[in-house]
Amino acid sequence: MPKVTAKRYVCRECGSAHSVWSGRCNDCGNWNSLDESDSNLGHFSKNLEPRKKSFKNSGMIVRKLSDDITPARFTPVGIAEFDRVLGGGIVAGATVLIGGDPGIGKSTLLLQAASLCSQHSKVLYISGEESVEQILLRAERLSEQSQHLNVATETSVEAIVDALATLKPDFVVIDSIQTMYLAGIEASPGTVSQVRASSHLLMSAAKKYGFSLVLIGHVTKEGAIAGPRVLEHMVDTVLYFEGERSQHFRLLRAVKNRFGACNEIGVFEMSSNGLREIANPSALFLADREEAISGTCVVPALEGTRPILIEIQSLVAQTHFASPRRAVIGWDQQRLAMIIAVLEKRFGYNFAEQDVYLNVTGGYRLQEPAADLAVVIALISSLGNYDVPINLAAFGEVGLSGEVRAVPQPDIRLREAVKLGFQEAILPKQGTQNSDKHGLHCTLCNDLTPLIRRFPPPLGAKNAAKFSTHSSAA
């Protein structure tokens, strides 16, 4: 009678193992996150690990930071936007994980980066999805200097590690980690056990031989990198390649970086010859603004250390249904509901019979609360059909009582607005009284009263007057 292989179920979010399947992980609480995995992984892991030794004879070297230790160095890739997101370049021995939707341009970006690095370093591009001839065809289309780039097609991690020990490259790209497999694990490539074990072995080789490792990962329907969530905790840097395939530009965003700032972004434009970096993304996002119109406002958003001017558009129209519609693209829908509630409760605006559509132009996903003030201007100007000056920018966080709260780095935001030709700004008074206004005509706000006076509700501003009196008395 054949031996029945015991099965276990591993959570793709936290990596915990379960003996039976259930709809919810008992450790992290996520639903439908358990994937079937062979129990042979535990036996294979034991074979990978060296025999345990006592601490006395382990050979572990302990050193003080005050000793003469040479710090790891940054090696610029050669693509300025890519280097910005990495924190100045890629670090020797570090592992970078890049995720994104299929067809978004991950392989294109890494092939361009590998081609540029091959001009001064030894680079190995390993693909589990394309043949060498297909890689060459794509490299010729990209018009990159790739004569010195080493390429290979392989999916066996054992064979890759053996080749790395012989070649000793400086920069290695794995495209993609979901195609890699280990022969000792009886599971299909792309499963939780294969992705985690393959990544661990490749990362150990990167630390041992001192090369920089870049892993390309596919994403799930929810937008997370496929495989166990613990993989994001193992690597040094996690980057996401974002953007709509119908749009011509892409965003490279750092969500984790041990060697640089998080939430740093790089902006690229997709062309027939590959990805082209955009040095001034603010001009790209505001290229189609020509005249003053109601329902629009520009916010100087901050992504990492980079300020970017983003246009927010709103359309408030009479509804024909019992329940008005709230449609949001590029912003938090719950935060829009909060802003509408504040305007109705505190200042007498009526959105109960209005459909509200909010859009962040260019497919950009805005997550910063500093956009609250610009959203308020877009909403109330569209409701009252007031034209917003084309040279007006606004930023600030709005609280539930209608107050305007300070946001970080106001000087950097104002400086970027001046660079793009803006002449007027509305911003929080708190934290900016002594800031340099850079020649802008600035309106400092403790609450939304100045905006209510400028864009009053269509049916009167009685509530606004009451709020203003209350604020003065306070």
Write the pLDDT tens digit of every residue in 188-224: 888 778 888 999 999 999 999 999 999 998 876 666 6
Residue 275 has pLDDT above 50, yes or no: yes
Task: Mark whether 339 and 385 lie in a shared domain.
Answer: yes
pLDDT at 436: 67
Mean of the per-residue pLDDT values of the chain: 84
15 within a domain of the structure (yes/no): yes
pLDDT at 179: 92
The answer for residues whose C-beta is within 8 angstroms of residue 328's C-beta and 6 or more apart is 336, 357, 358, 359
Helix (H) or strand (E) holding 203: helix 192-209
Q: pLDDT tens digit string along 38-69?
A: 544 444 444 444 444 454 555 677 888 877 77
Residue 243 Rama label (left phi>0; alpha psi -120 to 50; beta): left
263 within a domain of the structure (yes/no): yes
131 within a domain of the structure (yes/no): yes
Task: Mark whether 13 and 93 lie in a shared domain.
Answer: no
48 within a domain of the structure (yes/no): no
Round to whole Å and give the CA distance between 78 and 114: 9
Sequence-ordered alpha helix ranges (H) in 356-435 = 372-384, 410-419
Task: Mark whether 121 and 145 lie in a shared domain.
Answer: yes
pLDDT at 145: 66
Task: Mark whether 240 and 292 lie in a shared domain.
Answer: no
Arithmetic mean of pLDDT, 300-304:
88
pLDDT at 467: 43
409 within a domain of the structure (yes/no): yes
Query: Two tokens at 345?
Result: 């409760």
**Under a CB-based contact definition with an 8 Å cutoff, are residues 214 and 77 in contact?**
no
* Boundary (domain end) residue, out of 253, 279, 305: 279
Would you tell me how many other CB atoms lie within 10 Å of the CB of residue 313?
17
Arithmetic mean of pLDDT, 342-366:
91
Looking at the DSSP bridge assignments, the partners of residue 398 are 404
pLDDT at 44: 41
Confidence of residue 226 (pLDDT cuts 50, 70, 90): low
Confidence of residue 1 (pLDDT cuts 50, 70, 90): very low
Residue whose token pair is 């794509």: 138
106 within a domain of the structure (yes/no): yes
Q: Which domain holds residue 25?
A: 1-39
DSSP state of 55: G
Task: Mark whether 354 and 205 lie in a shared domain.
Answer: no
Calculate the CA dihedral of residues 48, 51, 55, 61 and round it to 10 degrees: -50
Round to whole Å and give the CA distance between 389 and 443: 14
Task: Mark whether 14 and 116 lie in a shared domain.
Answer: no
Arithmetic mean of pLDDT, 298-320:
92
pLDDT at 463: 45
Task: Mark whether 119 and 12 lie in a shared domain.
Answer: no
Total domains, the chain: 3
Q: 210, 221, 181, 242: which is closest to 44 by C-alpha?
A: 181
Higher pLDDT, 450 or 144: 450
Arithmetic mean of pLDDT, 400-414:
92
Task: Mark whether 234 and 301 lie in a shared domain.
Answer: no
Task: Mark whether 275 and 292 lie in a shared domain.
Answer: no
Task: Mark whether 275 and 306 lie in a shared domain.
Answer: no
Task: Mark whether 266 and 407 lie in a shared domain.
Answer: no
Task: Mark whether 109 and 240 lie in a shared domain.
Answer: yes
The CATH number linked to 83 is 3.40.50.300
Residue whose token pair is 């084309």: 390
128 within a domain of the structure (yes/no): yes
53 within a domain of the structure (yes/no): no
Round to whole Å and give the CA distance between 166 and 205: 12
Sequence-ordered alpha helix ranges (H) in 290-360 = 333-347
Confidence of residue 6 (pLDDT cuts 50, 70, 90): low
Confidence of residue 147 (pLDDT cuts 50, 70, 90): confident
pLDDT at 334: 95
